[in-house]
Amino acid sequence: MPLEILGKMYEKANKEYYAIGQFNFSNLEFLQSALDAAEEMKSPVIVALSTGAIKYGGIKNLVALTSTMADQISAPVALHLDHGATLDDVKMCVDAGFTSVMIDGSHHSLEENIKLTRQAVDYAHANGGITVEAELGRLGGIEDDVNVDERDARLTDPEEAVRFLEESGCDALAVAVGTSHGAYKFKGENAIDFDRIKIIKEKLGIPLVLHGASSVDPESVAQINEYGGKIEGAKGLDAESYKKAIERGINKVNIDTDLRLRWTATMRKLMVEKPGEFDPRKYLGPARDAVKELIKQKMKLLGSAGMA
């Protein structure tokens, strides 16, 4: 079916307290993994492009590929801009056929964030009723190769969120509750402020989004290290954390790092075990299958399986 407006997918998820996975991609294979998983699991799916991914693959190519592939399956697919930084990013993606955009003004003052988000909302809503996700508070970790220092990370303030929603008119809100982007999320124990999610949800009622939500699967990390990689001290969310966050009102869970780790683990093993192989399909194919299986597991965990 044609690409679906994310706001439409959210209606049921928000009412029934489940989450839809956002899976980032930059190439054909990751997109196939996500869409095949959605079809097999009868799950709605969000595929997302960062501005870095757009630069890598070309916006026209990536939109054409996504909509052509979505047309061939019955599971609903939304195409989302991840962490748009400027109004121009938003306009470019709305004009290109995205069905959801994120404007991330979290690095600005509250006033500036509201102003920027309001402009994005006005443009996206006027041009096809495209859904807008905003961010309030600030996540730590790696964003577009820039390390957001932990001291600059700031949890979302519920009262500020009420004002932010009223004045910006956003459709969904990314909340900072203790997760961070990348493979190194927690020093020591997982410190997610689950109650903050519940409080914000009760005050706002709109779909809430959890960024930095990869599990940083220990098996993938171990396999990468076993076959010549070097990833140390990586840590992410366990299944229980997903459950608690979703019960309290998270409706979209962003996953990128887990896909990259599983992909890299599969490729590293194959490269070592089959040194004579030089047909890329022989190693890209198995990596694609491994990522698909991972996404299927996530869809079960998030409760979106069977909801298409």
Give catalytic residues, as residue numbers: 82
Q: What are the start-end ranges of the E strands in the chain?
A: 20-24, 45-49, 77-84, 100-103, 131-136, 140-143, 146-148, 172-175, 180-181, 208-210, 250-255
> Mask 213-252, x = binds ligand G3H (CB under 6 A)?
----------------------------------------
Residues 173-212 that bind Zn ion (CB under 5 A): 211
Q: Which of 34, 172, 213, 245 binds ligand 13P (CB under 6 A)?
A: 213
Question: What is each CA distance from 4 to 7, 20, 99, 121, 123, in whole angstroms?
Answer: 9, 13, 6, 18, 18
Torsion angles phi and psi, residue 296, rounded to 5: -60, -45
Residue span binding ligand 13P (CB under 6 A) among the ranges 54-62, 157-165, 251-259, 295-303 = 251-259
Q: Which of 13, 49, 94, 255 binds ligand 13P (CB under 6 A)?
A: 255
Q: Kindly tell me which of 183 and 308 has the beta carbon lying closer to ligand 13P.
A: 183
> Mask 116-155, x = binds ligand G3H (CB under 6 A)?
---------------------------xx-----------
Is-contact 5 100, C-beta < 8 A?
yes
- The distance of closest approach from Cβ of residue 104 to ligand G3H in the complex, given in angstroms and rounded to an integer, is 9
Point out which residues pair with 173 in neighbouring strands. Answer: 134, 208
Q: Which partner from the list Zn ion, ligand 13P, ligand G3H, none does 144 bind, CB cut-off 5 to 8 Å by kind?
A: ligand G3H
The CA dihedral of 81, 183, 259, 230, to the nearest 10 degrees, is 140
- Please give the Cα distance from 30 to 297 (Å, whole number): 15
Residue span binding ligand G3H (CB under 6 A) among the ranges 49-57, 59-67, 72-80, 122-130 = 49-57
> Mask 63-92, x = binds ligand 13P (CB under 6 A)?
-------------------xx---------
Does position 241 interact with ligand 13P (CB under 6 A)? The reply is no
Does position 138 interact with ligand 13P (CB under 6 A)? The reply is no
- Please give the Cα distance from 147 to 142 (Å, whole number): 5
Q: Kindly tell me which of 82 and 171 has the beta carbon lying closer to ligand 13P.
A: 82
Query: CA 69: distance to chain centroid?
Result: 19
Is-contact 52 18, C-beta < 8 A?
no
Question: What is each CA distance from 173 to 71, 123, 125, in whole angstroms?
Answer: 28, 17, 16
Does position 181 interact with ligand G3H (CB under 6 A)? The reply is yes
Length of the chain counted residue by residue = 308
Does position 104 interact with ligand 13P (CB under 6 A)? The reply is no
3-state secondary structure of 139: coil
Residue span binding ligand G3H (CB under 6 A) among the ranges 45-53, 189-197, 240-248, 289-297 = 45-53
- Please give the Cα distance from 94 to 173 (Å, whole number): 18
Does position 182 interact with ligand 13P (CB under 6 A)? The reply is yes
Interaction site with ligand 13P (CB under 6 A): 24, 82-83, 181-182, 211-214, 254-258
